[in-house]
Structure 1
């Protein structure tokens, strides 16, 4: 019998790989080590749990240990893999009963990413939260809940005891600060405002959600301000201050009194485990892999937020940590390990974001510097068009930016923002990127039309038409 398939990390990529391998090769021993109590939980759902739109913490869990066991997977929670020895093909593990070695035939590194808090001082104070762990998410929800409205079922799960008594017994905060205007910051601004908190959002750059570009960033800024969020753009937080508990935020512009702080300034890949193994890393700091998820060390794979992927537009390695990417890569690696090689697939960096009622989407390469670095000569156009026929109720302004290569007309990327089914439209552009379409080809797409759903010329088609005209004018000159 072959040596076990060992997986380090029990979340999206890890359990997808373990499940697929066991399904395809039932006789193969599959072992998963997870250093925390939690497995297979929905990071992206956390802001909506804090807001109260998701009733229970348990609703964020996809698989329970019992369900994993029923799949024939040998799962070990509270077991941290301390080191990897590629020459001897074993890992050293620390568990409740001490340390031991586990041999492997194939190994998957699926250690995910960690929330970034440095270089801000004071992040170790009480009532400073991140949104990268279930315990802190539960504590934040409890802190925002008035004692007379506490419902213990909101904090129950099938397999982890979550103690939030300390927070449920306290009076809720009235003022919150968010450090970082990315995905988490914008989503949590909505959560805090929905609970009536005075909310301050600090962003080092001049606009929020930088990967979405200027047009989307402008609309998000307007939406936040209309919702009562005090936005401090172009403002870096120097430190968080307080005597044991945070009570103020310090910036060059002054001091702001607060009752809690949420830090959402980004994440970094968890790769410390394999730093001395000979495994190569990309410029992003994530693990370099080939089209099948294999690292540069034999029999060792990597997937999820700790690994790079190939970008479908540039053909170069890229690090874009997203849920679908992790699940899809893990599943492919599980199939490969079981004996039927399956590529992990390329990525376009497709992402969507909800800012109160504003829906935002992005895909591909939209930053001009990144496009030029990849060898393109970028040109862009931004348009605003209706989401439905103008006479039909619900029509809303939709802003679309498309970016193309000036010489070839190849579509490089795009962004979108609007309040009426804008985000889902980004999938059309993602598909166009996967198909290496030009702007002219996008303009000729036969998209559906009916007044309740779209105008005759969908906003994406309008943007393609305008950008094609710009390209034609350049060529004629």
Structure 2
């Protein structure tokens, strides 16, 4: 075989691309290089594995290396691509202490992103984690498990990939009784729930004055209330100075000059795209620092594509490049690139930043542009309204208050974004708004949507319709 399609990165975008290309063009040589052991895993499931809600690491594997090979894909784990030569169309690969060159006809860079912890001194102490790898999740769950209850064979089919030395070192420790979480985004909120499930005294530190900044005010307030109701101590508008240790292990967190004693910590202050591999190649990066690509995931260099958490995509509201690293975005973009490489040009699609998260029983969703400053920078004149309505008919049991915020452009009435918070299937309602954004709908058009009604599911006027009706009245 000739004209190899080479993929750097063996997770969501990379393996979606490899699988789709091989399916569409079975005779194409497809090679995937992954620098670590783990491939095709559910990153978003890690907090729920730490919590114990997901029983085994193996449950979070989408494809095993054997299944990938059965698809005809040449998967090479523990092979790190260390250089790209776009002129020669080769990559330099390092494995077992040696290097070799691999030629490519088409190249996909799907190197993902990495957790940021550098600003926090002490993040390298034992007992401090960033939940951005399966090994970290395995080690933290082992740390939370009493030594006499730890099962070294409890990883299912994922046991062969686990960093045993790391995990067993934590399994030998007595479980912590208290924990600090630095950062109140997705990971921070989810890990607060996970730690609480292990009966830890949990402190969450957030530098901004609200949790979940991209979700807006109402979801942030309702999520904070839910965390407090479950015993989580929130330190909002508080900057962490450092993690401090005792004998090399986490013993406390210093924030705004005060020390809070804790025995474990999770740093979840954000991620950055992995683009260092492309340094010096001439590949253009966007304003976000992620790789700039066109509608088909192609970079400015012939034959070089990028997808997933290392690449930008176009925002459906602004029409401009943006970087919102999420699971569906990576899978969808990788699949499109694979189909393009196989001979059928396929757009990677736009993004709206649609996301959901839960804080115990409280569900939160967001999509599009909610922040007024961001909207103005994009040329809009934003107007927002927030309403609270029942999730079901008032006489039907099980309903709960659902808070909806909608933002629109005053001049055109176009919907710009929305958020939802509530306890009764609230988060999934955000998909209605995401669909409306993709169709450039006005608030008036959202108000006239023919949404389903039956007492167990929704009142006659769904909370989204109520919010659209109120905002449409404000727009006049």
* TM-score above 0.5, yes or no: yes
**Cα distance, 1:391 vs. partner?**
1.1
Matching residue of 1:186:
189
CA–CA separation in structure 1 for the residues paired with 2:475 and 2:411: 8
- Does the Cα contact within 8 Å between 2:241 and 2:257 map onto a contact in 1? no
Which of 375, 378, 385 in structure 1 is aligned with 2:382?
A: 378
Partner of 1:160: 161
- Confirm or deny: 8 A CA contact 1:65 1:159 kept in the other structure: no
- What is the CA-CA distance between 1:162 and the residue it aligns to? 3.9
* Aligned match of 1:117: 117
Partner of 1:142: 142
Q: Which 4+ residue blocks in structure 1 deviate beyond 4 angstroms? A: none
SS for the counterpart of 2:87 is: coil
**8 Å Cα contact 1:155/1:162 also seen in 2:** no
Q: Distance in 1 between matches of 2:350 and 2:435?
A: 12
Residue 45 of structure 1 aligns with which residue? 45
Q: 5 Å matches for 1:261-272? A: 261-272=265-276
Alignment of 1:70-109 (within 5 A): 70-96=70-96, 98-109=98-109
CA change 1:158–1:135 in 2 (3 A) is closer
CA contact (8 A) 1:279 1:297 kept: yes
The Cα shift of 1:149 comes to: 2.4
Output one character per residue of 1:63-98: Cα deviation in whole Å (capped at 9) or x when no partner: 111011000000110011011010010000101151
5+ residue gaps, structure 1, are 473-477
Cα 1:347–1:462 change in 2 (3 A) is: same
Answer yes or no: is the 8 Å Cα contact 2:181–2:188 preserved in 1. Answer: yes
User: Which residue in 2 is equivalent to 1:3?
Assistant: 3
Contact 1:4 1:31 in 2 (8 A): yes
Which residue of 2 is the match for residue 228 of structure 1? 231
In 1, the alpha carbon distance for the partners of 2:105 and 2:77 equals 21
SS state at 1:44 partner? helix
Equivalent residue for 2:262, pick from 258, 262, 278:
258
Give 1:367-446 correspondences, 5 Å limit. Answer: 367-446=371-450
Out of 427, 441, 456, the residue aligned to residue 452 of structure 1 is: 456
Deviation at 1:124, TM superposition (A): 1.1
1:150 positional shift: 2.1
What is the CA distance between 1:170 and its match in structure 2? 1.9
- The whole-number CA distance in structure 1 between the counterparts of 2:77 and 2:147 is 33
Could you tell me the TM-score, scaled by structure 1's length?
A: 0.98
Q: Secondary structure at the match of 2:82?
A: strand
| Cα separation, 2, equivalents of 1:406 and 1:200 | 41
Secondary structure, aligned partner of 1:26: coil
Cα distance between partner residues in 1 of 2:272 and 2:308: 12
Aligned position for 1:475:
none
Q: Give 2:63's aligned residue.
A: 63
Cα offset, 1:201, TM superposition: 0.2
Q: Which moved more, 1:30-39 or 1:235-244?
A: 235-244
Under a length normalisation based on structure 2, what TM-score does the superposition of the two structures give?
0.98
> What is the distance in 2 between the residues matched to 1:112 and 1:165?
27
The 3 A distance-change label for structure 1 pair 294 and 274 is same
Deviation track 1:261-282 (CA, whole Å, cap 9, x = no partner) reads 1000000000000021111111
Task: Determine helix, strand or coil for the equivalent of 1:186.
Answer: helix
- Could you tell me which residue of structure 1 aligns to residue 318 of structure 2? 314
Instruction: Report the aligned-residue RMSD.
Output: 1.0
How many Å separate the matches in 2 of 1:339 and 1:291? 16
On the 8 A contact 2:153/2:159 being kept in 1, the answer is no
Alignment partner for residue 173 of structure 2, among 170, 173, 187?
A: 170
Q: Deviations over 1:308-346 (max 9, x none)?
A: 000001000000000000000000000000011110000
Give 3-state SS (helix, strand or coil) of 1:296's partner. coil
Q: Return the alpha-carbon distance in structure 2 between the equivalents of residues 7 and 449 of structure 1.
A: 46
**Could you tell me how far 1:152 is from its partner in structure 2?**
3.2
Asked whether the equivalents of residues 64 and 159 of structure 1 are also in contact (C-alpha less than 8 Å), the reply is no
**CA distance in structure 2 between the aligned counterparts of 1:398 and 1:327, rounded to whole angstroms:** 30
CA distance in 2, matches of 1:153, 1:265: 32
Matched residue pairs, number?
A: 472
State how far apart, in whole Å, the 2-side matches of 1:11 and 1:464 are: 39
> Is 1:176–1:192's contact at 8 Å kept on the other side of the alignment?
yes
- Give the deviation of 1:252 after TM superposition: 1.5
User: Structure 2: which 5+ residue stretches go unaligned?
Assistant: none
- For residues 147 and 220 of structure 1, the distance between their equivalents in structure 2, rounded to whole angstroms, comes to 33
Question: How many Å apart are 1:144 and its aligned residue?
Answer: 0.4
SS at match of 1:68: helix
CA distance in 2, matches of 1:166, 1:158: 16
CA distance in 1, matches of 2:438, 2:427: 18
User: Residues of 1 paired with 2:348 and 2:311: CA distance?
Assistant: 11
User: 2-side partners of 1:291 and 1:177: how far apart?
Assistant: 41
1:214 aligns with 2:222: no
1:166 positional shift: 2.1
Q: Deviations over 1:327-380 (max 9, x none)?
A: 000000000000111100001110000110001000001111110111000000
